[in-house]
């Protein structure tokens, strides 16, 4: 397929000659053939001329759930990857949140095969323990060889510290990356919201910051003892930021991420008992959100993630205590992050992180594979049902003013581009 992007402003800080320059970009057979101030469209070439078109290398998300296999009513892999492409993502890490959980090499192969031919690259994680039950390690080495990029018991703590110790020691033999969810279940108990003034006022059982920070501190102590590579996904408290900053000063090989909704919202949103705002870890205080943003800016927090978790209506339209945790995040990721931090920071964060998981970084130059996101960073709008492309509709961003719309992606010689309402 031949494509000509007209008058596209290139956002690529690492290439000073192209950064913030308007160029026509000719793509032939999935490769960037030419970039120039003006290019005449060759025969059999699709020209794309969109309002205020900006382009960057394709975006990356380190934490996405779909549903297949087991929860296809929430989301299939095929539609989920199309949603990701339409939302600007050319690479996503797939959480091991299915039924059964992917804890063998054949499970990982199945997920990769389901992603073949789709517009977004899928990089599966494998479960850290068998059935994600936290008892015995899963087939980590075999899953790594089959294509698993990391190991994670989705949204579950590693209760047994010796198990985490063994996992970190064992994974060093094949450069494996271990995830550890930052929440102590014993301290969380039956909590459903951040422990603070809001939860007390509403009569909701609280989840103290201690539940996260104690787990993070424990995991970092174990990492210091074992060595190895640890990733702590979706931290949510100011205390966690400080703990990880200190660990990095010691030279520990630890990275962490934060969910975009934990930057954008605080626990004050719970006053309407809207279950769309029930997530794990929970929305925290405004002070925590400010500390998380500061941690992003100073490099303590390595990655942002949509933490996209589709949930069917039957598990959301219930009492707050009984609702399942999770919100959609792919469709709103750019608009919310761009509004919060500005385009320069948003694009820098959304294009980084691949190397941590052994994924090749795309490049923006002539002769490179076209791995490109197309967007308009200046358009403001109210996020509504028409913006949700997922099968499930559980987005906490509904009714929120956002800035920046995504046109789509060009990747794997496929183009997913459209103008949204």
Q: What is the pTM of this model?
A: 0.96
What's the confidence (pLDDT) of residue 55?
Answer: 98
| Whether the Cβ atoms of residue 127 and residue 98 lie closer than 8 Å to each other | no
**CA R_g for the chain:** 21
What's the confidence (pLDDT) of residue 15?
Answer: 83
171 phi and psi, to 5 degrees? -65, -20
Report d(CA 86, CA 418) in Å as an integer: 8
List the structure tokens of 40.
């005449």
Report d(CA 60, CA 88) in Å as an integer: 9
What's the confidence (pLDDT) of residue 14?
Answer: 83
List the structure tokens of 373.
């996101």
**Residue 383 CA to its chain's centroid (Å):** 19
Question: What are the tens digits of pLDDT across the range 278-307?
Answer: 999 999 999 999 999 999 999 999 999 999
**Residue spans of the chain under pLDDT 50:** 421
| Whether the Cβ atoms of residue 164 and residue 221 lie closer than 8 Å to each other | no
| Whether the Cβ atoms of residue 153 and residue 185 lie closer than 8 Å to each other | no
Q: Is 61 a catalytic residue?
A: no
Report d(CA 243, CA 258) in Å as an integer: 14
Query: What share of residues in the chain are helix, strand, coil (percent, to 5)?
Result: 35, 25, 45
What's the confidence (pLDDT) of residue 421?
Answer: 46
Choice among 307, 321, 378, 421 that is catalytic? 307
Domains of the chain in start order, with CATH, are 2-55+366-417 (2.30.40.10), 58-357 (3.20.20.140)
Question: What are the tens digits of pLDDT across the range 343-402?
Answer: 999 999 999 999 999 999 999 999 999 999 999 999 999 999 999 999 999 999 999 999
Q: Cα–Cα–Cα angle for 161, 163, 164, nearest 5°? A: 65
What's the confidence (pLDDT) of residue 183?
Answer: 97
Q: Cα–Cα–Cα angle for 283, 248, 258, nearest 5°? A: 20
108's enclosing H/E stretch is helix 105-114
Contacts of 104 (CB under 8 A, 6+ apart): 138, 139, 142, 143
Report d(CA 41, CA 368) in Å as an integer: 20
**Residue 167 CA to its chain's centroid (Å):** 24
What's the confidence (pLDDT) of residue 420?
Answer: 53
Report d(CA 330, CA 20) in Å as an integer: 25
Residue with tokens 């990089």: 123
């Amino acid at each position: 397929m031949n494509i000509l992007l007209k008058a596209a402003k290139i956002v690529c800080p690492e290439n000073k000659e192209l950064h913030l320059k308007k160029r026509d970009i000719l793509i032939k057979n999935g490769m960037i053939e030419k970039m120039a101030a003006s290019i005449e469209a060759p025969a059999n070439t699709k020209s794309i001329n969109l309002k205020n078109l900006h382009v960057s290398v394709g975006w990356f998300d380190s934490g996405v759930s779909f549903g297949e296999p087991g929860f296809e009513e929430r989301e299939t892999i095929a539609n989920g990857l199309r949603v990701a492409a339409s939302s600007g993502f050319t690479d996503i890490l797939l959480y091991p949140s299915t039924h059964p959980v992917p804890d063998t090499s054949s499970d990982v192969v199945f997920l990769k095969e389901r992603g073949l031919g789709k517009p977004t690259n899928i990089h599966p994680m494998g479960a850290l323990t068998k059935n994600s039950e936290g008892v015995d390690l899963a087939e980590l080495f075999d899953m790594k060889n089959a294509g698993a990029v990391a190991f994670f018991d989705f949204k579950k703590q590693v209760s047994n510290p010796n198990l985490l110790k063994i996992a970190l020691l064992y994974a060093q033999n094949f450069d494996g990356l271990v995830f550890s969810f930052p929440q102590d279940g014993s301290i969380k108990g039956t909590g459903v919201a951040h422990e603070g003034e809001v939860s007390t006022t509403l009569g909701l059982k609280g989840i103290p910051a201690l539940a996260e920070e104690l787990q993070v501190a424990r995991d970092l102590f174990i990492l210091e003892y074992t060595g190895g590579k640890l990733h702590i996904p979706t931290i949510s408290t100011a205390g966690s930021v400080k703990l990880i900053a200190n660990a990095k000063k010691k030279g520990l090989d630890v990275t962490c991420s934060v969910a975009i909704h934990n930057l954008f919202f605080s626990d004050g949103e719970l006053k309407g008992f809207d279950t769309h705002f029930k997530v794990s870890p929970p929305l925290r205080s405004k002070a925590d959100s400010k500390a998380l943003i500061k941690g992003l800016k100073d490099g303590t927090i390595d990655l942002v993630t949509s933490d996209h978790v589709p949930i069917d209506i039957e598990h959301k339209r219930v009492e707050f205590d009984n609702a399942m945790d999770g919100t959609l995040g792919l469709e709103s990721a750019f608009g919310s992050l761009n509004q919060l931090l500005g385009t320069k920071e948003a694009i820098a964060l959304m294009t980084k992180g691949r190397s941590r998981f052994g994924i090749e970084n795309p490049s923006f130059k002539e002769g490179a594979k076209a791995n490109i996101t197309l967007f308009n960073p200046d358009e403001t709008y109210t996020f509504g049902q028409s913006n949700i492309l997922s099968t499930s509709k559980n987005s906490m961003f509904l009714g929120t003013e956002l800035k920046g719309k995504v046109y789509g992606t060009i990747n794997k010689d496929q183009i997913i581009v459209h103008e949204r309402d």
